[in-house]
Every structure is written in structure tokens, then in C-alpha cells.
């Protein structure tokens, strides 16, 4: 055996040993993550596994609602909360708390709001709008707003206090915002978003999917939002929740 043969054999043994030390998982898991694939030197082979995930756009879901609307609360309870909790990785959710409210600017430049379910609803809309602005991260403000909307009987102020305590949120800045010029201006932005809808909204809750609203989309959202999101999402593989069947649920609407 020549010295060259000895060197080649030694190099192969060293390579195999190195691979064995780094790649300590069975072959069926080599594509389970980019790190494992890299350690096992199969990154190129696993490329097709990663590519669909990287290129799939999140589903753009926007909900136009009002804080004391019974059916909006029902939509949170029966559809939105469980769907967003299970599928937040593939949903870009936008909440617009305004609904069927009306606004009018007075002589001082302040916006005065009139809400379908009375003054408390206007307060609730402002609390939720300020929560979105101040908490910023949807993983924080969505559970807070969802908690408020799950409360069927409390006033928005009472529900906000209870939900903030449950979730460790400092409520005072949110309440201060809701009675300030900032909150007034923020709610005006929610009004502008709602009034810009095309077609104009006729009821609440009003759902747009990737910027589009149709009666078919609305009916599917109210009946089985999880299925609608899963069917719309183009990525692969889809989340495990997409493989579970959910029950149908009818929802009335506030006109």
C-alpha cells in the first residue's frame, strides 16, 4: 500500500467520524430542520422541503367589528380566537374596532363618536384601539381584546380591567389613551379604514381575506374560519390544525 493510499483512507475515516459526530440523528429526521440538514450534509437534498415554507405568504385576514356587537363577540368565541391561536404562524391578522359607528368633528377639532350599541360601545372601541397602538405586539394585544370580546355581560371598562389583570397588562396607559386626544385620533384612523372598504360594509362582523370581501368569504368565515384559512394558505406543509375537522357554526350579523 502506498503512502497516497494511506492518506486517502485516513481522510475518509476522518470525514466519516466527523459526520457521525455532528449528524447524530436517524436519516428520516435529516430534513427536520436546516441545522440538522447542514450537520448531516444534505442541505441541497432537503432544499425542496424548505422552499415552500419560505415562499408562502401569510393569509391577510382583517376583521371590522364593534366592541359590544353580540355577533362580533360570537365570532370571537366561535371562530376567531381558536383559529388565530392555532394558525397564527400563517395569518397576518388586522383588527379594526369601529363597525357601524359614526363620527363628526366639532369646532375644537375633536371627533365625536356615535355607536350602534350606545356610549359604552364607543368606550370599548377606544380601549381596544388604544390597546392595539400601545401594546403593539399582536401576541399581546390579541389575547387581551379577545378576552374582552368573550365577556358577554360586563361593560368594556369592567372587562378590560378583568382581562388586564388576568394577562399581566398595565391597563392604566390604555385607559388614559382612551380618553385622550391620541385615542380620539387613533379611533378616527379606524373610522377611515372602515369607510374605505370597497364594497362598503353592510354589517358586522365584516371579514376581508387578502383584501377581498364577498358573501361567500363571509359565510365561510362565519361557518368555519379554520378551514377557510387553511384552504387559502398556499404553503406546504400546512399546520397540523389544518388536518382537523371543525364543526359548522352559524352567525347572525349586526346591520
CA contacts within 13 A on the Cβ side of 116: 19
* pLDDT at 194 (0 to 100): 98
CB atoms within 10 A of CB 92: 13
| pLDDT tens, position by position, 24-40 | 777 766 776 677 778 88
Summary count for the chain: helices (H), strands (E): 11, 5
Q: Considering the entire predicted model, what is its pTM?
A: 0.77
Q: Residue 141 CA to chain centroid, in angstroms?
A: 10
* pLDDT at 24 (0 to 100): 78
Instruction: Supply angle C-alpha 148, 198, 105, rounded to 5.
Output: 65
| pLDDT tens, position by position, 59-111 | 999 999 999 999 999 999 999 999 999 999 999 999 999 999 999 999 999 99
Cis-peptide into 199, omega within 30 deg: yes
- Give the integer Cα–Cα distance in Å for 106 and 187: 15
- Give the integer Cα–Cα distance in Å for 222 and 75: 7
Instruction: Supply angle C-alpha 77, 145, 205, rounded to 5.
Output: 55
* pLDDT at 7 (0 to 100): 42
DSSP collapsed to 3 states, 65-98: ECCCCHHHHHHHHHHHHHHHHHHHHHEEEEEEEC
Residue ranges for the chain with pLDDT beneath 70: 1-21, 28-29, 32-33, 47-55, 245-255
* pLDDT at 14 (0 to 100): 47
**The C-alpha cell that represents 203 in the structure block:** 354589517
Amino acid at each position: 500500500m502506498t503512502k497516497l493510499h494511506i492518506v486517502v483512507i485516513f481522510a475518509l475515516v476522518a470525514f466519516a467520524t466527523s459526520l457521525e459526530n455532528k449528524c447524530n440523528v436517524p436519516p428520516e429526521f435529516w430534513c427536520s430542520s436546516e441545522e440538522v440538514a447542514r450537520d448531516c450534509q444534505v442541505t441541497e437534498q432537503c432544499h425542496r422541503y424548505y422552499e415552500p415554507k419560505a415562499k408562502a405568504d401569510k393569509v391577510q385576514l382583517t376583521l371590522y367589528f364593534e366592541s359590544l356587537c353580540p355577533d362580533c363577540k360570537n365570532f370571537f368565541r366561535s371562530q376567531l380566537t381558536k383559529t388565530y391561536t392555532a394558525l397564527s404562524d400563517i395569518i397576518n391578522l388586522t383588527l379594526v374596532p369601529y363597525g357601524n359607528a359614526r363620527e363628526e368633528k366639532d369646532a375644537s377639532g375633536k371627533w365625536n363618536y356615535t355607536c350602534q350599541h350606545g356610549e359604552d360601545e364607543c368606550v370599548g372601541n377606544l380601549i381596544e384601539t388604544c390597546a392595539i397602538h400601545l401594546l403593539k405586539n399582536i401576541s399581546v394585544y390579541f389575547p387581551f381584546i379577545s378576552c374582552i370580546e368573550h365577556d358577554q355581560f360586563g361593560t368594556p371598562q369592567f372587562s378590560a380591567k378583568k382581562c388586564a389583570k388576568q394577562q399581566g397588562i398595565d391597563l392604566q396607559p390604555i385607559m388614559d389613551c382612551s380618553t385622550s386626544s391620541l385615542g380620539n385620533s387613533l379611533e378616527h384612523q379606524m373610522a377611515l379604514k372602515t369607510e374605505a372598504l370597497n364594497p362598503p360594509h353592510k354589517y358586522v362582523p365584516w371579514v376581508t381575506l387578502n383584501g377581498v370581501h364577498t358573501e361567500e368569504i363571509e359565510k365561510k368565515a362565519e361557518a368555519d374560519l379554520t378551514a377557510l384559512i387553511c384552504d387559502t394558505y398556499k404553503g406546504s406543509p400546512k399546520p397540523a390544525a389544518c388536518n382537523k375537522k371543525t364543526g359548522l357554526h352559524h352567525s347572525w350579523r349586526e346591520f
